[in-house]
Amino acid sequence: MSKFTLTQLLAMRIKISTTALLFLCIFISASAQKVKPRFKELPFTSLESFQAPPANWKIIGAVQAGYGDTALSTAKGSSILFNDYSRSIQFQEGHHLTTKMQHGDLLLDFDFMIPKGSNSGIYLQSRYEVQINDSWGVKLPTYSDVGGIYERWKNEKGFEGSAPMTNAGFAPGLWQHMEISFQAPRFDASGKKIANAKFVYVRLNGVTIHENILVSGPTRSPAFEDEKAYGPLMIQGDHGQVAFKNFKYAPQDELNVTLSDINYTYFEKSAKTPEEATKTKPTSFGKTAALDARLASARDQYFLQFDGKINVPVKDVYTFSMLHTGDGSLEIDGKKVIEPNWTHIGAEPLTGSVELEAGNHTFKMWINKDVNWAPPGLSFYVEKPNSKAIALHSPASMPDRTPAPLVEVKANANTEIIRSFMYHHNKKLTHVVSVGDPSQMHYAYDLLQGAMLKIWKGNFLNATDMWYERGEPQVASPLGATIDLTGNCPVYEKTATKDSIADYQYKGYELSNKGQPTFNYQYKKLTIQDQITPNETGRGLMRTINVSGEGKEKTWIRIAQGSNITPLGNGVYVIGDQQYFVQLAPGVFPNIESYLDQRVLILPAKDKIQYQLIW
């Protein structure tokens, strides 16, 4: 067996034999910081937001199920929308739920839960379905799996339909999160369709599973066979039980911001301010139809200034972004919106926000290019909440840029072990090992505490920030649907006041014949071995902890920690807000205690401890 100490791990760079360079569609084509949309929430205190709601739809206060349960258990209250499906209404008309709200372009954001074997769907404009289905464990998803864009139907034959790029679905009985950006079909003045409906993106549990999917017409079983600019949302109700919460939507308006009366002044020299630039005569000046960096004839050492009018349609907060090389600044109505600052093409844009009344405003912007290693160019974008960013510059003003590559570590044939920094609960941890398995069940582990940080399924690891260019951030991140764990030491001290144990000392790891690590630790006079492997079903991870040495009888091991821990029977416990399951063997009865305003699941260390993490 191979052994590695922490010192050896720090000294070595692990070779990524399966890394492939894939091109990412990462362009800064809009602002660097996305403006948060103003979401409206459907209040699940009653069914008032829906048109003539069928009797199978109810408002409840809580819902729960194990991963093997074929029905959801519910409790009275409010905040959750529930389809109380029974087989008597299967495939029968009149059981879908339709909103009073009508939408065109839309952002949709919600949580859902289904039991084992259940099926539902969300119809944008009551016409275009995104599938909700129990697809747990499906390796190659189709259009009918969770997150799939359902097929169209003609002459009793299916066509089109888009499968998710990966199966990002969790186990039944867990809350899952879906985000949809939908663009309605476009029509000309005569009512003729000139552009198909489009799913700009669909994200499931944090993973993008669709991008820019065109839909040529309504998918199967729509409420309407025609297409319109607006329509209500519809939730399928005749296929299976489903629950929803945190159901939010944000209409996406077309933004009509224009520039006029644009003047430019060009100085073939570097200057840090307009006052410094105007100490000499400009090289050229005049009117221009658009903001264009090509008005500067030099590649470097120039100062380019624009001023004119900007017209906005409504009173709101507008966010502007500039991307160029060198210093830059933006003023609107004499107020600094983007403070003088330095950036370069390839970095993040300069951004700033300001509230503007509807109508015309004066603007002044300038850029000062004073380095020759980065190309010239200028982009200028504007956006506001619930609108898409639009360009206010000439398309030729910004040169084409090479997209950043994705450095992906794959774990298709062998176990991969990658050392890196990693963010966990907004904190950058420095001693993290990510272990990828060919079963596509992966985890990240903090060597300093013997703590599991994240578990995920699907693709393994994004190592771009470790290997691209200088690799300065040294941060890796999961590529699949991820569950964040509490991330604390398995040894549980009932009197501890913080989640770290100074006496927990890392002693390296050993590799099995499958390349899977067993981590070794010393805690006071105890020796601890910690092994994490895929479980037999390939739908979770098995953790085995062995404790030996003096004090073993008085030691407790932390199995899980969260805001809530609920026993479901047969050794199954659901953690947090139904985030993941812990499965113990029959006859094993842990304690549940309060700890630091949370709950912990603990077992005595006198015997080998083994449990499964299932999600």
Band of the pLDDT at 34, cuts 50, 70, 90?
low
| Token couple for 13 | 């760079």
> 590-596, long-range: CB within 8 Å, 24+ apart, which pairs?
590/559, 591/556, 592/565, 592/567, 593/494, 595/492, 595/494, 595/561, 596/497, 596/498, 596/499
pTM score of the predicted model: 0.89
Mean pLDDT, residues 286-307 = 97
As a whole number, mean pLDDT of residues 536-561 equals: 95
Q: Which residue has the higher pLDDT, 544 or 12?
A: 544
- Amino acid 176 reads Q
CATH, range 40-251: 2.60.120.560
What pLDDT is stored for residue 535 in this prediction?
95
The listed CATH number (2.60.40, 2.70.98, 3.40.1440, 3.30.450) that belongs to domain 3-22+407-614:
2.70.98
Residue spans in the chain of domains classed CATH 2.60.120.560: 40-251
- Whose CA is closest to 591, among 557, 545, 553, 554? 557
CB-based contacts of 385, cutoff 8 Å, min separation 6: 35, 36, 37, 38, 250, 316, 317
What are 177-190's pLDDT values in tens digits?
999 999 999 999 99
Helix (H, G, I), strand (E, B) or coil at 152: strand
Model pLDDT, residue 503: 84
DSSP symbol at 403: P
Structure-token match 């899980």, residue found: 560
Give the contacts of 342 (CB within 8 A, at least 6 positions apart). Answer: 326, 327, 328
Complete edge-to-edge strand list for the sheet that includes strand 128-133: 97-103, 231-235, 119-124, 128-133
pLDDT tens sequence across 494-546: 776 666 677 899 999 999 999 999 999 999 999 999 999 999 999 999 999 99
pLDDT at 125 over 80: yes
Q: How many C-beta atoms surround the C-beta of residue 366 within 10 A?
A: 24
- What is the C-alpha to C-alpha distance for residues 212 and 218, in angstroms, rounded to an integer? 16
- pLDDT tens digit sequence for 396-448: 999 887 777 899 999 999 999 999 999 999 999 999 999 999 999 999 999 99
How far is residue 515's CA from residue 518's CA, in Å, rounded to a whole number? 10
**CA 353 to chain CA centroid, nearest Å:** 24
Provide the token pair at 190.
């005569």
Among 1.10.3470, 2.60.120, 2.40.50, 3.30.70, what is the CATH number of 258-311+320-348+361-394? 2.60.120
The average pLDDT across 288-298 equals 97
Which two tokens mark 525?
A: 């006079």
Provide the pLDDT for residue 548: 96
pLDDT at 499: 61
In one-letter notation, the amino acid at residue 485 is: L
What pLDDT does 501 receive? 74
Residue ranges matching CATH 2.70.98 in the chain: 3-22+407-614
**Model confidence over 321-341: pLDDT tens digits?**
999 999 999 999 999 999 999
**Residue 567 · residue 588 · CB < 8 Å:** no
